């Protein structure tokens, strides 16, 4: 792994973990986040693409960049990297944050559930299921839009 990739990964992990503080200063609960993630399983899996793209490597990945996945034009041209704050906004109301996305799920309205889900997604990359998945390359992604 190059120094740049390692730095990007480390930065993404720090941002995800810093966003894992729940309202009231309590730490987010990744175990509860795994239960919240069960709602996602109708369309997503951790290590493979389904109706939606895989969730392994989501934090720190450029939106619309999983090779071979058929993203909506809106997601392909979103021009951002998923971090905890952006994921929180998207999960609140996906169609409001990114009009034209093909993710028609209404979102996760409870802020604590979202914090727990994001904490779970931040730590799941260290799981055996995700260890077998090649990450989507940020270098292979289109340039970020300003």
Mean pLDDT of all residues in 112-136: 89
Domain-located, residue 142:
no
Longest CA pairwise span in the chain (Å) = 41
* Residue 50 pLDDT > 70: yes
Domain-located, residue 144:
no
pLDDT tier, 133 (very low <50, low <70, confident <90, very high otherwise): confident
Domain-located, residue 56:
yes
- Residue bearing tokens 């992990």: 13
In CATH, what number is assigned to the domain containing residue 76?
A: 1.10.760.10
Domain-located, residue 59:
yes
Torsion, CA 104, CA 108, CA 109, CA 113, rounded to 10: 180
Q: By residue range, what is the domain housing residue 51?
A: 3-131
Q: How many domains does the chain have?
A: 1
pLDDT of residue 15: 47
How far apart are the C-alpha atoms of 32 and 138, rounded to whole Å?
29
Domain-located, residue 137:
no
Domain-located, residue 138:
no
From 121, 110, 105, 125, select the one nearest 22 (Cα to Cα). 110
Domain-located, residue 21:
yes
- For the stretch 57-106, pLDDT in tens is 999 999 999 999 999 999 999 999 999 999 999 999 999 999 999 998 99
Percent of the chain with pLDDT over 90: 68
How far apart are the C-alpha atoms of 9 and 25, rounded to whole Å?
25
Domain-located, residue 139:
no
Percent of the chain with pLDDT over 70: 74
> 3-state DSSP call for residue 27?
strand
């Amino acid at each position: 792994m190059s120094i740049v990739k390692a730095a990007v990964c480390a930065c993404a992990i720090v941002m995800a973990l810093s966003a894992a503080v729940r309202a009231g200063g309590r730490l987010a609960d990744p175990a509860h986040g795994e239960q919240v993630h069960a709602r996602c399983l109708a369309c997503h899996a951790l290590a493979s693409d389904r109706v939606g793209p895989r969730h392994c490597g989501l934090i720190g990945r450029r939106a619309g960049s999983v090779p071979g996945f058929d993203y909506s034009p809106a997601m392909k041209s979103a021009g951002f990297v998923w971090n905890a704050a952006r994921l929180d906004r998207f999960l609140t109301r996906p169609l409001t944050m990114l009009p034209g996305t093909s993710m028609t799920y209404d979102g996760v309205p409870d802020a604590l559930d979202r914090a727990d889900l994001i904490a779970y997604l931040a730590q799941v990359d260290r799981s055996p299921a995700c260890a077998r998945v090649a990450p989507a390359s940020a270098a292979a992604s289109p340039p970020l839009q300003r």
